[in-house]
Amino acid sequence: MSKGLNDANLDYVLAVIENAPNTELSVMCEQLQIDSRDLLNQLAISVARLFLTGTRDFHYCDEVMNIVIGDIVD
């Protein structure tokens, strides 16, 4: 499995989470051939950058991270 995602794939993951919050991250990991820990790490960094640059507001970032954490806990 790959250790990294390009920007297009990260955008894809964010779009899927935004449009279908019940999507399991394990399915995306399999499709993108990436380890779940690497996906979660890159996703968290990406969301933090979106917030810090003002590209996305707190509510968007909070929602994305809540969905991700929910998937981890479940």
pLDDT in tens, 21-65: 888 888 889 999 999 889 999 999 999 999 999 999 999 999 999
Reported for 20-24, long-range contacts at CB under 8 A and 24+ positions apart, including other chains, are: 21/63, 21/67, 24/71
Burial 24-40 (b: 16+ CB within 10 A, else e): ebeebbeebebeeebbb
What pLDDT is stored for residue 42 in this prediction? 92
Distance CA 4, CA 8 (A): 12
**Are 61 and 51 contacting, i.e. CB atoms less than 8 angstroms apart?**
yes
What pLDDT is stored for residue 60 in this prediction? 95
Give this prediction's pTM. 0.82
Cα radius of gyration (the chain):
11
Report domain extents, the chain.
7-73
